[in-house]
Homo-oligomer: A and B are copies of this chain.
Amino acid sequence: MVKVADIMAGDMKNARENSIQESGSIFPEFHKIIQRSDKETYLKQRSRVIWLTGLSGSGKTTLGSYLEKELFSMGYLTQMLDGDNIRSGINANLSFSDEDRRENIRRIAEVSKLFLHCGIIVISCFISPTREIRAMARKIIGPEDFLEIYVNAPLEICEQRDVKGLYKLARNGKISDFTGIDSPFEAPANCNLEIRTDQLTVKESSRQLLDFVLPWIRNGR
């Protein structure tokens, strides 16, 4: 039996173009929906996905928020994705099992891709603990648009910070599968940038991130 999903995913674009051609083209350019490049030109920016990976407490969301604010003040349009708007929304029905962690990152990558193709700079802040799931994200998004930033602080420092109190819960056995405690974190082998948040101030870390990102997103400015 033919699967509707396959037909819709694969053939819809052709079907639509054919139907428009057959229907007599009231709008000659009609089948051309607005492209990513049109939106990038309009927004005077190149869209990219800035993917912050690192342990809980390493500073991903802090740096991501700062970056969004700095970029917005310079006239760049961004979208932050983090636990606040993902785990409470599209991924509310996922657990922290290995399978669901993978699905979590898959959906985040797909959402990132939609924003990317709308011309928007995405700042994704997720632990994304293994090389395999980051490779999956890179593949979904496209390697040329995926900037992997390793927000690096040693486990001891992150555990001292323990801003959400989660390390304490994990050490006391109140939560399980917690990255760094009873679930692995694999440091990136080939990230685009590493930021040592244990050695730099927030201001210095943020500056390093901003300086790295700007050349990737400039578009006729």
Measuring CB to CB, which residues of chain A are less than 8 angstroms from any residue of chain B?
1-5, 7-13, 15-16, 18-20, 23, 26-27, 29-31, 33-34, 38-39, 42-43, 61-62, 65-66, 68-69, 72, 75, 77-85, 87-90, 92-96, 103, 107, 110-111, 113-115, 117-120, 140, 161, 163-166, 169, 174-178, 201-203
B87 near A8 (CB under 8 angstroms)? yes
What distance in Å separates the Cβ of A119 from its nearest Cβ neighbour in chain B? Answer: 8
What distance in Å separates the Cβ of A3 from its nearest Cβ neighbour in chain B? Answer: 8
A114 near B111 (CB under 8 angstroms)? yes
Copies of the chain in the assembly: 2
The docked-state distance in angstroms from the alpha carbon of A69 to that of B26 is 14
Q: Chain B residues with Cβ under 8 A from A16's Cβ?
A: 61-62, 163
- Supply 6 A–B pairs (Cβ within 8 Å), ascending by A: A5-B87, A5-B92, A13-B84, A23-B202, A27-B66, A90-B90
Q: Chain B residues with Cβ under 8 A from A12's Cβ?
A: 82-84, 164
Please judge, given known A-B contacts A12-B164, A90-B107, whether A5 and B96 are in contact too, CB under 8 Å: yes
Residue of B nearest to A177 (CB): B4
A4 near B178 (CB under 8 angstroms)? yes
Interface residue from B33, B85, B163, B166 paired with A69 (Cβ < 8 Å): B33
A9 near B163 (CB under 8 angstroms)? no
What distance in Å separates the Cβ of A9 from its nearest Cβ neighbour in chain B? Answer: 4
Q: Chain B residues with Cβ under 8 A from A113's Cβ?
A: 89
What distance in Å separates the Cβ of A73 from its nearest Cβ neighbour in chain B? Answer: 9
Give 16 A-B pairs besides A27-B202, A30-B66 with Cβ atoms closer than 8 angstroms.
Answer: A1-B176, A4-B177, A5-B87, A7-B164, A7-B165, A7-B175, A8-B83, A8-B87, A11-B164, A12-B82, A26-B202, A34-B72, A34-B80, A39-B72, A79-B118, A85-B117
Q: Chain B residues with Cβ under 8 A from A30's Cβ?
A: 65-66, 69
What distance in Å separates the Cβ of A189 from its nearest Cβ neighbour in chain B? Answer: 27
Residue of B nearest to A85 (CB): B114
Residue of B nearest to A104 (CB): B5
Q: Chain B residues with Cβ under 8 A from A90's Cβ?
A: 90, 107, 110-111, 114
